[in-house]
């Protein structure tokens, strides 16, 4: 709560400039913006939120080029946006999408894990957990409109939503490929994937760090639907209408019942998970592994 109140000034002051942003970038603004509030729209913002109070649908657009990587700023923005929407009685559903071409999100910003001490690791990992937890336990109907590649943390956003629509482009990939980089998906994300794909598919996917093309992702149930890229957002809107046809209270109780076990386990082991991560990621061997990966990335760009 505190964080929401602390940022309320920012929310208010951001409205005028985000109107301009909305006009500049019409494609990501799927809903008529008669009535909405943006949490902010400064050029430094990683996330834009457009809530249409007449439909009850908010669109959260990830807009952190080049790859919507999840740095601390992104995670903080995300958590605040979620809190705000969750408390807003006008908002019943949330669509997540990206304004960055070809990329939904490339996942966690490795710079937040490289060359930092255990204190930073602790703060960072708590924020990562919070992003997942807020989305996974949301009372809203949450739909991921995956209009680009979505590895690791990007896949986390999709998995924790209620429904996943992906652009029908075999060059876009999705999956939890953490093991490739020498790190490991946390248990709560593993539990989330097991619920979605089943145990066997998850065991293989995580151990082999598999990224699936959109068609393959549909085959194994990692996404629910493929549509042409230009229809991802409109299909999300149509799908939302279907979910809205069920009374909110019975849908919410059902969702909470379905996700209770995973949430309870997460909450009971949250601090242990943070400590494990901080110990693990600050190890010399893991730092070396991340360093090698970063060097590769730099070389690729150059």
Asked if 202 touches a second copy (CB under 8 A), the answer is yes
* Omega of the bond leading into 66 within 30 degrees of 0 (cis): yes
By CB under 8 A, name the one of 25, 254, 272, 279 that touches a second copy: 254
Reference 79, options 97, 66, 60; nearest CA is: 60
Distance, CA of 223 to CA of 146 (rounded, Å): 9
**198 assigned to active site:** no
Q: Which stretch binds a second copy (CB under 8 A): 58-66, 112-120, 131-139, 247-255?
A: 247-255
Distance, CA of 134 to CA of 197 (rounded, Å): 21
Annotated active-site residue in 62, 156, 178, 222: 178
By CB under 8 A, name the one of 140, 209, 211, 227 that touches a second copy: 209
Asked if 178 touches a second copy (CB under 8 A), the answer is yes
Q: Which stretch binds a second copy (CB under 8 A): 18-26, 47-55, 122-130, 207-215?
A: 207-215
Burial of residue 15 (CB within 10 Å: 0-12, 13-18, 19+) is middle
Asked if 184 touches a second copy (CB under 8 A), the answer is yes
Q: Which H or E element spans position 197?
A: helix 187-197
Residue with Cβ nearer a second copy (103 or 183)? 183
DSSP E strands, the chain: 47-52, 57-62, 69-70, 93-98, 107-108, 141-146, 150-151, 163-167, 173-175, 212-213, 225-227
Asked if 241 touches a second copy (CB under 8 A), the answer is no
For a second copy, the binding residues (CB under 8 A) are 162-163, 178-185, 187, 190, 194-200, 202-204, 206-209, 221, 224, 242-243, 246-247, 249-251, 253-255, 257-258, 285, 289
Residues with a known catalytic role: 108, 153, 177-178
């Amino acid at each position: 709560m505190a964080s929401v109140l602390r940022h309320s000034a920012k929310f208010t002051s951001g409205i005028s400039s985000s109107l301009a942003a909305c006009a500049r970038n019409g494609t990501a603004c799927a809903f008529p913006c008669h009535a909405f509030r943006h949490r902010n729209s400064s050029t430094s913002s990683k996330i834009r939120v457009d809530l249409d109070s007449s439909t009850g649908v908010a669109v959260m657009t990830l807009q952190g080029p080049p790859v919507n990587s999840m740095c601390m700023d992104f995670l903080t923005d995300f958590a605040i946006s979620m809190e705000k929407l969750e408390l807003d009685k006008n908002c019943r559903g949330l669509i997540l999408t990206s304004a960055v071409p070809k990329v939904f999100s490339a996942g966690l910003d490795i710079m937040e894990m490289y060359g930092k001490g255990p204190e930073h690791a602790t703060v960072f990992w708590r924020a990562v957990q919070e992003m997942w937890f807020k989305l996974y336990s949301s009372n809203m109907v949450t739909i991921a409109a995956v209009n680009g590649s979505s590895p690791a943390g990007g896949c986390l956003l999709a998995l924790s939503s209620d429904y996943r629509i992906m652009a029908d482009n075999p060059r876009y990939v999705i999956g939890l490929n953490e093991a490739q980089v020498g790190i490991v998906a946390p248990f709560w994300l593993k539990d989330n994937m097991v619920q979605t794909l089943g145990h066997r598919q998850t065991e293989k996917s995580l151990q082999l760090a598999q990224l699936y093309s959109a068609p393959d992702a549909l085959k194994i149930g990692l996404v629910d639907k493929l549509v042409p890229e230009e229809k991802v957002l409109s299909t999300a809107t149509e799908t939302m209408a279907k979910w809205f046809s069920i009374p909110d209270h019975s849908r919410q109780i059902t969702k909470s019942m379905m996700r209770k076990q995973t949430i309870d386990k997460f909450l009971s082991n949250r601090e242990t998970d943070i400590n494990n991560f901080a110990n693990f990621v600050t190890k010399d061997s893991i730092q070396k592994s991340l360093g090698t990966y970063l060097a590769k990335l730099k070389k690729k760009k150059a």
